[in-house]
Chain A
Amino acid sequence: MPVKGIKTVAAARNGVGAFILQCKRLDFHYCNYGGSSRGMLAFLTQTLPNFARENPQIEIRVSPRHSKHPIIKGHYINGREKSICVRNLEPNDILAKAMILKDASGEKLKVQKKPVTSLNESVRGIWSPYHGDLRGV
């Protein structure tokens, strides 16, 4: 056999063709008695239905968490989760926190050093000392 094939897996590029939202579930926890949950209770009754309607990709769970501060927990496709404590926050601020969790990729935050990260080869190739316009030394 003159040439053999090497079996690999094509790498995913989220957003090049289809975009899959990385946040798959948001858990909203509240307490019926605690004062820090007052904003959360208002958020759940007033803002959350609209938020859920605008983001059908996210599964939303609401559950009480007795005698604890209210939190929002996001579950991501890569298996990680992120949670934000929203004690004593107003409904608008809680919406902002929920948006943060919705837009996150689930990865740990890290410094992006390059403006573009790509799997594609650079157009001009990898620089080689033996090619191009050689100058005599």
Chain B
Amino acid sequence: MKRVQLQRWSSTVLSPRARTVSRLHQHVFATGSRCQSTASPLQAESSAQEGPGDAGFEDVELMKHVRSAHRRKDMLKYPSPPVDAALNSAKLAALHARLYLPSRLPPQTLARALVDASADPNPDFNNESLATLGHDLLTYYTTEHLLCTYPRLPLTVIFAAMYAYAGPKTLAAMAREWGVEHASLPGGEVDPGLLQFRRVAPGSDLSVATYNNRTPRPYAAQKAWRMTVTSKIFYDDEFGDAIKGPATSGEGVTAELASATFVRAVMGAIYLHAGRPAAKRFFEQHFLSRHLNIAQLFNFSQPARDLARLCARENFELPVARIISETGRKSRHPVFVVGIFSGKDKLGEGAGASLIEARERAALAALKGWYLYSPLNVRVPSSMEEEGAAPWKPVYVDLGEVIV
């Protein structure tokens, strides 16, 4: 596999373009066209110098003063801060250094990642495209890690683990832990180091907004109908939730959603500017390093029945529950330690205050022992992109979860 040279096409995709005609008409006297984050800083300089009244003032000092006043007034007209403001923001530079972002990622792009689509609807200036790319990268890296490390996990647990690693709640927590502050209102004059988004109006019902989603699932309005796990793969997103369409302009977003979009956009920006290895390293350092105990994500309803089905499927002997030890059977607080055996092998054991409880817990431990199997020397497919990677050996693929 050969690594794609990204630097080249990233600049063509995000080539500097003038703003839409309608907005140009709104402010004819504005300082020319807004330049994009990936444009060269030289152009930003030249556009700034094409300010109004260049010839009218002889005095340089006065001209400078007037121009800065004009610039401040112009900034108010933009929905998000101009690109050259990113170079003067202390907050932005501090955030760039705090995350140890690669130096190839310019502060202008980081500033763009901080502008949500609800603040600036123009797709050339908000973080929507970066976030889309970053979201795909995040989910890809998380999925391959989970599937290769725990090949037997049931799908519902994979959904929960994906949510725990790359869900909006986790991403919002990460943005908070990175020290990203929110601007109270977006605008051109705001410090570009603040996260800019339009908030949801107080008192608006969020559940109605989620109901109004654009899921491809047929008969989505039928709430009482059964939704199979398999259908979630086809119709729902990577967390097993209904897909929400793009927010219409004018609607606000919650702080959680805006923070999550920012984190995804940072991921996408690193991929575009510094390439795939840097993006992977960023993912490993910030996402995989978080603590998640996968064993606590299981919620069984009938573990004993599932275990019996599993043993029948795998041609093991029928599981038998046996008492390993017990104390105080006739007392108020008895404890039973029950093991589940298949033939002579112990599959799991559990302790409980009644025989039924101990047996259920033992069956649950046995099932977790099955599902949490992890092969030795796990490698993920994306490790083949590294220089001088060893030849690929196929990973362990399991038959699938127990179906009752």
Cα(A24)–Cα(B285), bound, Å: 20
Question: B374 near A: Cβ within 8 Å?
Answer: no
Chain B residue with minimal CB distance to A79? B176
Q: Report if A56-B291 is in contact (Cβ < 8 Å); known contacts: A2-B306, A9-B169.
A: no
Q: Are B403 and A18 in contact (CB under 8 A)?
A: no
A131 to chain B: closest residue by CB: B337
**How many residues from B make CB contacts under 8 Å with A?**
60
| Proximity string of chain B (260-295) to chain A, C-beta cutoff 8 Å, 1 when within and 0 when not | 000000000000000000000000111011111100
Interface residues in chain B, defined as those with a beta carbon under 8 Å from any beta carbon in chain A: 90-91, 93-94, 96-100, 154, 156-161, 163-165, 167, 169-170, 173-174, 176-179, 193, 229, 240, 284-286, 288-293, 296-302, 305-306, 325, 327, 335, 337, 351, 367, 371, 401-404
A130 at the interface (CB under 8 A from B): yes
The 4 closest A-B pairs by CB, nearest first: A17-B289, A5-B160, A56-B97, A17-B285
Q: Is the CB of B285 within 8 A of A18?
A: yes
Among the listed A11, A20, A59, A134, which residue makes an inter-chain contact with B291, where contact means beta carbons less than 8 Å apart?
A11
Decide if A57 touches B299 in the complex (CB within 8 Å): no
- B156 to A, closest residue via Cβ: A5
Bound-state CA distance A137–B321 (Å) is: 27
A10 to B142, CA, bound (A): 13
Among A56, A60, A119, A128, contact of B351 (Cβ-Cβ < 8 Å)? A128
Closest to A4 in B: B299
Interface contact B177-A13, CB-CB below 8 Å? no
Tell me the A1-43 residues at the B interface (CB within 8 Å): 1-14, 16-18, 20-21, 24-25
How close is A49's CB to chain B, nearest CB, in angstroms?
14
Question: Could you give 13 example pairs across A and B, Cβ below 8 Å?
Answer: A2-B300, A4-B301, A5-B160, A5-B299, A6-B297, A8-B160, A13-B289, A13-B291, A18-B285, A25-B94, A60-B90, A77-B178, A128-B351
Contacts of A1 on B, CB cut-off 8 Å?
156, 229, 301
Residue numbers in B under 8 Å from A25 (CB-CB): 94
| B298: A residues at CB distance < 8 A | 3, 5-6
A58 at the interface (CB under 8 A from B): yes
B98 and A21 contacting across the interface, CB-CB below 8 Å: yes
- Residue in B91, B167, B284, B292 whose CB lies within 8 Å of A11: B292
Structural contact, A130 and B173, CB atoms closer than 8 A? no
Residue of A nearest to B289 (CB): A17
Q: Known interface pairs A5-B156, A8-B160, A59-B91. Does A17 touch B229 (Cβ–Cβ under 8 Å)?
A: no
Contact among B160, B169, B284, B325 for A130, CB-based, below 8 A: B325
